[in-house]
């Protein structure tokens, strides 16, 4: 998908493509945590961020579906494939 005039590579609407990724962090006492970020690729707006010690796939699905009601269902969802 691309722009309406045919230019490739960009999303059609601000929430047409969403992406999610994880980032590791540490608490004030040094313990690890994992942060899940969901972004709108067009606007680069952070739509949600969730922090957990050990997130699982159900929490990722919950974070994405919680955005469907206020923001609509995206055309595409992308994830980073880091180890």
* Residue range 36-65, pLDDT digits in tens: 999 888 888 889 999 998 888 898 899 989
The tokens for 4 are: 């309406």
What number is the average pLDDT over the span 20-36?
91
- For residue 31, the model assigns a pLDDT of 92
pLDDT tens digits for 1-13?
A: 444 444 455 445 6
Which pLDDT does position 34 carry in this prediction?
92
Among 66, 72, 61, CA closest to 16? 72
Percentage of the chain with pLDDT > 70?
A: 78
The stretch 56-78 carries a mean pLDDT of 88
CB neighbours (10 Å) of residue 51? 12
């Amino acid at each position: 998908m691309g722009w309406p005039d045919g230019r490739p590579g960009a999303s059609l609407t601000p929430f047409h493509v969403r992406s999610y990724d994880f980032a590791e962090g540490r608490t004030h006492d040094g313990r690890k945590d994992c942060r899940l970020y969901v972004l709108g690729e067009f606007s680069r707006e952070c739509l949600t961020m969730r922090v957990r010690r050990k997130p699982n796939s159900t929490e990722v699905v919950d974070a994405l579906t919680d955005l469907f009601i206020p923001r609509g269902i995206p055309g595409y969802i992308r994830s980073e494939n880091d180890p």
